[in-house]
Amino acid sequence: MANKNLQFKTNYAVSSKIEPFYKGGKVQISKDEKYIFCTCGSRVNVVEISTGKIVHCVEHDDQEDITSFALSCDDELLVTASRALLLKQWDWRQASCTRSWKAIHTIPVASMTFDSTSTLLATGGCDATIKVWDVVKQYCTHNLKGSSGVVHLVQFHPDISRLQLFSSSLDCGIRLWDLRSSQCVCVLQSHYSAVTSLSFSRNGDAMVSSGRDKICTVWDLKSHQAKRTVPVYEAVEGVVLLPKKTDLSQIGVKSKNLHFITAGSKGVLRVWEASTARCVYTQALPSTLALSSEEDEEEDNPRSLTHLFHLPASSRLAAVTAEHNILFYQLPDLSTQQQFVGYNDEVLDVKFLGKDDSHIVVATNSCQLKVFQLLTNSCQILYGHTDTVLTLDVFKKASLFASCAKDRSVRVWQMDSDGGQVRCVAQGSSHTNAVGSISCSRLKASFVVTGSQDCTVKVWDLPAEFSGAEIHQLSPRTTEKAHDKDVNSVAVSPNDKLLASGSQDRTAKLWSLSGDGNLGLLGVFRGHRRGIWSVCFSPVDQVLASCSADGTTKLWSLQDFSCLKTFEGHDASVLKVIFVSRGTQLLTSGSDGLVKLWTIKTNECVKTLDAHQDKVWGLHGSRKDDKMVTGSADSNITVWADVTEVELAEEQAKQEDQILKKQELSNLLHEKKYLKALGLAISLDQPHTVLTVIKAIRQAEEGGDLLEKTLLKLRVDQKESLLRYCVVWNTNARNCLDAQAVLRVLLTHLPPEELLQYQAVRTHLEGLIPYTERHMERIGRLLQASMFLNYMWQKMRVAGASSGMEQDEEMDTTPLTQTQPLFFIDKENVKGSSDERGDRDDDGDSEQEEEPCSREEDEEEADEVSASKKASTSDAREKNRESTKTNGHHQSESEESSEEEELEDDHAVQVVKNVPVSSAPQCPTLS
C-alpha cells in the first residue's frame, strides 16, 4: 500500500494560532505607535503592530465585559471600566492591577479619556453624569451633571492650561465644560444625530466634529460658533485634521487652508477642504469591486469604517472597519501598508497557499476572503463575492485557487509570486442556488467542479493563461442533476478522470470525467445513515473516503463500491476528511471540536487533537505533508506541525540519558558515594531507584548515622521529593522501615516551619499517618507474640539435660540443630490443669489446698518425654491406664482429664512447630 520505510504519524503540535483579539468597541493606539489596545469581551488585548501578535492581555477577575478603557498619553497607565461599576488601573506591561475603585456612576461607564498630562481622567456614564478623577492623588475632582442620556464621548482640550472638557450625549449637542468652575460654558448645536468624533487644530483654536447625520462642522473655539458645515453624504464615524506642514499634494491638498479626512459608512477615506466644503480626494476602491453608490450607502456595509486615527510619528492613518479589521495607510498617498483581522467570526474553510505554503486563505462568515501571511499574521482582504463565501480549493500550482459562495458565483484567484498580492482572474455564475462545494483539477489548472444546493454538479473550463487585468467570464462545460438533496462535497481524483460527490441524501456517487465534457455515473456508495459532509480520493489507492453526520468515516472501494472500513470515534458529525502519510492515514475533523488521526491498517485512532471549542469546518494538509491547518466556528485558525520525528528523537535521547544515568548510579553505589548517588536517583524521578540507594546506605557500616549525614546534605527540592517518595514507600510493609528511617531524620532535624513550606506537605502527612498507625499496630502484635515465644522458651528444656530448677534456670539457649526439635513438657501444668478442672466440678476450695502438695509430688516424679506427638500421647495414655487400674472408683474423672491432656499436648506441639525458635528473640521496632 505504501513504502515500507514510511513512518506513521503519531502526533501534531500547535505551531501557531490566529485568534480573535478585537470584537468591537473602543480601539486606541499608543503614543509611541508600537501597540494597538482593543477590547475583546472581558479583556483588553495589546497587539504589537510590527508582528500582529498579542503581546499583553489584561482581564477583569469577575469576567465582566469591559465597557470602556483609556490609555494615558505617556503610555504608562491603563484604566478599564466594567459592568461591575469598577475602575481598575493597570500596569499593562506586567498585566497586573495596581489599583481599583468604585466608579460612583450608578450604571456602567460608556466613555473615558486622559488629559495630555496623564493626571486627569474623565469618565462619561450611562447615567448622564461625567466624573473627573485625579489619578495621582486618587480622588474625584469633579461631578458634572446636565447631560441628557448616555455620555458616549468625552475629550479634553489638548491645551491643558485651558482646563476644558468636551462631551456629547443623546441630545446631539457638544457641551463645553470649564473645570475651574465645574460649569457648562456652552452647548455647541449643529448636529441632528449622534456626534461621533472631535479633532482639534494644532493651535487649539479650531475644532472639527463629525456625526451620523452625514455632516461635519468646523468650530471656532474662541467665539464658540460654527464656521462651516460640510455635507459629506455619509454617516461619519471618524474625522482627523491633516497637518499643514506636510506635503499632501498626492491626496488633493493644494493650499494651506484647513483640510480634514473622514471615514464613514462608505468604507473609503475622503479628504475635504474646510473653507470650500468640497471633497478634494476620494480613496480608490479595490479593483475587484464594482458596487453601486447605493450599496455604498447601506448601513450594514461590511466595509464601513468605525474609527480613524492619525499617527504623526510615522505619518500614517489607522482605520477600523465594521468587520473588526484594522488597516494602516501610509501618507501622503494613502497606500495600504498593513491589515490586521481582529475577529474572523465563524471560519468555514481554510487552505494552504503560495510557495512553500507560506500563506493561508480563509473563508469566514463573510463575503470577503482573507489571505494571511503565516510569518507576520498580516492579512490581505479580498473583495469580490457579494454573499458569504462557503468553501475553497487550491490548484496544484498553489498560487491559483478557487472559491464559491452563497451569491451563486464561482471565482478564481491568482497570487503574485513576487509581492504576494492576490487578484481575481475569472468568475462565473450559473447555479440557481448557493454553491457549497468546489474542487480543482489535480494535474493542471484546466477546470473546476462545483456542487450546489440546487442538487446539480457543474464542470467549468478555465483558459490556458490568465493575462491582463480583465476578469475572464467562465461558463459551465456540463451540468448534471447529481443528487436528490444539497451537494455538500465534490472531489476530483488525482488523475483528473474521476469525480466523486457527496450529498445530504446520504449517498456518495462516482462519476467519469470523459474528454467530451459529459459526466457519466459509474456507481453509488450507500451505507451512511445521515448526510455526507465530505469526500476525498486516496492519493495512491483506488479508494474513496467519506465522512458523515452519523459520526462515522468510511473507506470505499472504487472497483465494487463496497465499504472497506468504518472509523468511529467522533461524538458528533464528521465534517472533513483528508489523507496523509501517502494515503496510509486519515485526518478527520468534527462538530465536537476535535481533530483525529487514524491509521487505516489498524482502524486505530492514533491521536486526538483538541484545540477548538466549536465545529471544525476547515482542514487541510500542506504539500510536504509536514503541517496541517484547521479552522473552526470559534473564530480560531490553528496551524499544526507534525512532531512525530521530534518526539521520537526526544524519546530516544531520553532513553539514552536514562541508561547513562543508571550506569553512573551503579558506579556511585559501588564507590560508596552515597550523596551523589541519592541526588542522581532523585533527579531521575524514580522512587524505586531512590529506595534502592536508601537500602544500600542503611546496609553499610553505621548505616543510621550515614543516612542522617547524607539526607541533611540534600537540597530543599530534593528533600521535598524524598518526602513525597516516603508516602509511597510507607504504604508497603516491606519498605516501611526505610520510609520511617528517612522520616525520622527529616522530622528530627528540620523545623516545622521549613517542612510546611514544602509543596502539598499537608497532603503527604495525611497520607503517612494512617499507614504508620497500621505498621505500629502490626509491630505491637509481633512484639506480643515474641514475648509469648520468649516465655515458652524459658519454660522448655532441651532433651538430654538433667532435671532440676537450677538447670532450668541456666538453660542453654543456643539454636537447636536437630531436624525434629525436642522439648521438655512439664507435667506440672498438665496434671495441675486436670486436677483443677476435676476439682472445679467437686469443690473449688479443695483446689487451693491440694495445689501445693500436688506440685511437689509432680516435680519429683517428672519424666523425660519426646516433643513429638506420638511419644507424648502414648506415655500419657499408659499412665492414664495405670491410674485407671489403681483408682477404679475415679475412672470417669481420669478419662476426662486424659482427653484434656491429649488436646493440650497436641495444641502445644502444634504451636511450637509453627513458631520459629531463635537463640535471642528480637522485637523489630520503628527506627
d(CA 920, CA 169): 100
DSSP string, 225-241: EEEEEEE-SS-EEEEEE
| Cα-trace Rg, the chain | 46
- pLDDT attached to residue 77: 92
HSE, side-chain direction, 13 A CA sphere, residue 57: 11
Exposure letters 610-622 (e unless 16+ CB within 10 A, then b): ebbeebbbbbbbb
Contact (Cβ atoms closer than 8 angstroms) between residue 80 and residue 64: no
Grade residue 491 by pLDDT with cuts at 50, 70 and 90. Answer: very high
Grade residue 811 by pLDDT with cuts at 50, 70 and 90. Answer: very low
- pLDDT attached to residue 815: 44
Among 63-72, 125-134, 714-723, 834-843, which stretch is predicted with the lowest mean pLDDT?
834-843
Interval 577-617: pLDDT, tens: 999 999 999 999 999 999 999 999 999 999 999 989 999 99
Grade residue 869 by pLDDT with cuts at 50, 70 and 90. Answer: very low
Grade residue 484 by pLDDT with cuts at 50, 70 and 90. Answer: very high
C-alpha cell of residue 183: 460649569
- pLDDT attached to residue 42: 87
Counting every residue written for the chain, the total comes to 927
SS3 450: strand
Task: Give the mean model confidence (pLDDT) for residues 41-66.
Answer: 87
If phi > 0 it is left, if psi is from -120 to 50 it is alpha, else beta; for residue 182 that is left
Among 152-161, 388-397, 806-815, 862-871, which stretch is predicted with the lowest mean pLDDT?
862-871
Grade residue 543 by pLDDT with cuts at 50, 70 and 90. Answer: very high
Grade residue 672 by pLDDT with cuts at 50, 70 and 90. Answer: confident
HSE, side-chain direction, 13 A CA sphere, residue 773: 5
pLDDT at 818 over 60: no
The contacts of residue 766 (CB under 8 Å, 6+ apart) are none
Grade residue 300 by pLDDT with cuts at 50, 70 and 90. Answer: low
Cα 434 off chain centre by: 36
- pLDDT attached to residue 832: 44
Q: Which secondary structure element, helix H or strand E, spans residue 458, and what is its range?
A: strand 456-461
- pLDDT attached to residue 286: 61
The contacts of residue 663 (CB under 8 Å, 6+ apart) are none
pLDDT at 485 over 70: yes
- pLDDT attached to residue 2: 43
Hey, what amino acid is at 869?
K
Interval 451-460: pLDDT, tens: 999 999 999 9
pLDDT at 829 over 70: no
pLDDT at 845 over 60: no
Best-predicted range by mean pLDDT (246-255, 469-478, 846-855, 909-918): 469-478
- pLDDT attached to residue 657: 86
Q: Quick count: other Cβ atoms within 10 Å of Cβ 831?
A: 18
Grade residue 873 by pLDDT with cuts at 50, 70 and 90. Answer: very low
Contact (Cβ atoms closer than 8 angstroms) between residue 895 and residue 885: no
- pLDDT attached to residue 338: 86
Q: Which secondary structure element, helix H or strand E, spans residue 732, and what is its range?
A: none
pLDDT at 885 over 80: no
Grade residue 752 by pLDDT with cuts at 50, 70 and 90. Answer: confident
pLDDT at 836 over 50: no
The model's pTM is: 0.70
- pLDDT attached to residue 609: 94
d(CA 340, CA 321): 10
**Angle of helix 761-794 relative to helix 736-749, nearest 10 degrees?**
120
Task: Give the mean model confidence (pLDDT) for residues 290-317.
Answer: 72
Interval 690-715: pLDDT, tens: 888 888 888 888 888 888 888 888 88
pLDDT at 800 over 90: no
Among 146-155, 440-449, 864-873, which stretch is predicted with the lowest mean pLDDT?
864-873
Higher pLDDT, 849 or 144: 144
d(CA 757, CA 344): 47
Sheet arrangement for strand 206-211:
195-200, 206-211, 215-220, 225-231
Distances (CA, A) of 884 to 457, 880, 890: 118, 6, 7
Q: 332 preceded by cis ω (within 30°)? A: yes
C-alpha cell of residue 665: 548510579
Task: Give the mean model confidence (pLDDT) for residues 108-132.
Answer: 93
pLDDT > 90 in the chain, percent:
46
- pLDDT attached to residue 666: 84
Task: Give the mean model confidence (pLDDT) for residues 325-340.
Answer: 88
Grade residue 903 by pLDDT with cuts at 50, 70 and 90. Answer: very low
Task: Give the mean model confidence (pLDDT) for residues 824-837.
Answer: 42
d(CA 253, CA 270): 11
Interval 197-256: pLDDT, tens: 999 998 888 999 999 999 999 999 999 999 999 999 999 999 999 888 777 888 878 888
Grade residue 69 by pLDDT with cuts at 50, 70 and 90. Answer: very high
pLDDT at 355 over 90: no
pLDDT > 70 in the chain, percent:
83
Hey, what amino acid is at 26?
K
Grade residue 65 by pLDDT with cuts at 50, 70 and 90. Answer: confident
- pLDDT attached to residue 119: 93
Grade residue 883 by pLDDT with cuts at 50, 70 and 90. Answer: very low
Task: Give the mean model confidence (pLDDT) for residues 630-638.
Answer: 93
Hunting for cell 465536537 — which residue is that?
Answer: 592
User: Which among 653, 681, 826, 828 is positioned nearest to 742, based on CA atoms?
Assistant: 681
- pLDDT attached to residue 5: 63
C-alpha cell of residue 649: 528523537
The one-character DSSP state at 826 is -
pLDDT at 846 over 60: no
- pLDDT attached to residue 921: 41
Q: Quick count: other Cβ atoms within 10 Å of Cβ 867?
A: 21
- pLDDT attached to residue 724: 87
pLDDT at 502 over 90: yes
d(CA 194, CA 168): 8
Task: Give the mean model confidence (pLDDT) for residues 816-832.
Answer: 41
Across all residues in the chain, what is the average pLDDT? 82
Long-range contacts of the stretch 546-555 (C-beta < 8 A, 24+): 546/502, 546/508, 546/577, 547/574, 547/575, 547/576, 547/577, 547/588, 548/506, 548/573, 548/574, 549/573, 549/574, 551/590, 552/528, 553/577, 553/586, 553/588, 553/598, 554/525, 554/527, 554/528, 555/600
The one-character DSSP state at 867 is S
- pLDDT attached to residue 469: 76
Pairing outcome for strands 35-40 and 43-48: antiparallel
pLDDT at 293 over 60: no
